[in-house]
Amino acid sequence: MTNPMSKVMSVEEVVGSLESGMTIGIGGWGSRRKPMALVKGILRSGLTDLTIISYGGADVGLLCAYGKARKVVAPFVTLDSIPLEPHFRAARQAGAIEFVEYDEGMFMFGLLAAAHRLPFLPTRAGLGSDVMRVNPSLRTVRSPYEDGEELVAVPALTMDVALIHLNRADRRGNAQYLGPDPYFDDLYAKAADRCYVSCERLVDTADLLKEGPVQSLLVSRSMVTGVVEAPGGAHFTSCEPDYGRDEEFQRAYVAAAASPESWRESWREFTRWVAR
């Protein structure tokens, strides 16, 4: 008998619910706990013209490389142990994408504003820096209190859809992280009109508290539209404590990006990985 409360979906069903031109937020951080199974689903699809909001890693680079991204909003795009994401760098140097760059704090305030349904949040971050110059659309506001301080008004990073990857989830969409950091995935879930969670393993609701403390229950089912069981679904990024970053694969990925002809076998391995 089908459980009417189940939100379990396949990668193909999630991707099939998306549309070209959407704004998609992608959780994780750099090359840590990225929803790569869902990203690969987008790469295999006909989706284009996407705006990507991300503490960027290979998710952003791949979406640029496959011509899926029109605009990227990010504080950085890195592979962590390899500082520069090669596909993103190539797209930026070629002028193939529009890029909106904030610092990490401003980016967080944008997520917070969207999560709380506010048009913006004020911060001192960015004042006196080139952030204001490279983002001429940013505005400042003055405090209505006695000090009258001028502050940067960081606009809400609203998004149509958020994609996040967590260690465990139940079939109703309650989701849990077991690693060292939540990476703001709960803010993505709250900031988006719809949120899809991939996880290493689906478990019964009662078993979530056997996996970790109540504080590790990061995302409530009320925030989630669909949940996908995807073992290894963050590869080649890390998903601690289930697995670390695949450094060998990451090096091959960077080499293949540098010159597919010179690194033919690396490129074959990479394209097989995308197809899985």
The 3-state secondary structure of the chain reads: CCCCCCCECCHHHHHHCCCCCCEEEECCECCECCCHHHHHHHHCCCCCCEEEEECECHHHHHHHHCCCEEEEEECCECCCCCCCCHHHHHHHHHCCCEEEECCHHHHHHHHHHHHCCCCEEEECCCCCCCHHHHCCCCEEEECCCCCCCEEEEEECCCEEEEEEEEEEECCCCCEECCCCCCCCHHHHHHHEEEEEEEEEEECCHHHHHHHCCHHHEEECHHHCCEEEECCCCCCCCEECCCECCCHHHHHHHHHHHHCCCCCHHHHHHHHHHHHC
Per-residue pLDDT of 97-138, as tens digits, reads 999 999 999 999 999 999 999 999 999 998 988 899 999 999
Per-residue pLDDT of 163-191, as tens digits, reads 999 999 999 999 999 999 999 999 999 99
- Tell me the CATH class for 11-234: alpha beta
Which pLDDT band, with edges at 50, 70 and 90, does 1 fall under?
very low
Q: What pLDDT is stored for residue 262 in this prediction?
A: 55
Parse the chain into domains and list their residue ranges.
11-234, 246-276
Q: What pLDDT is stored for residue 273 in this prediction?
A: 83
Per-residue pLDDT of 46-93, as tens digits, reads 999 999 999 999 999 999 999 999 999 999 999 999 999 999 999 999
Q: What is the mean pLDDT of the chain?
A: 93
Q: What pLDDT is stored for residue 5 in this prediction?
A: 85
Residue 275 has pLDDT above 90, yes or no: no
Residue 255 has pLDDT above 90, yes or no: no
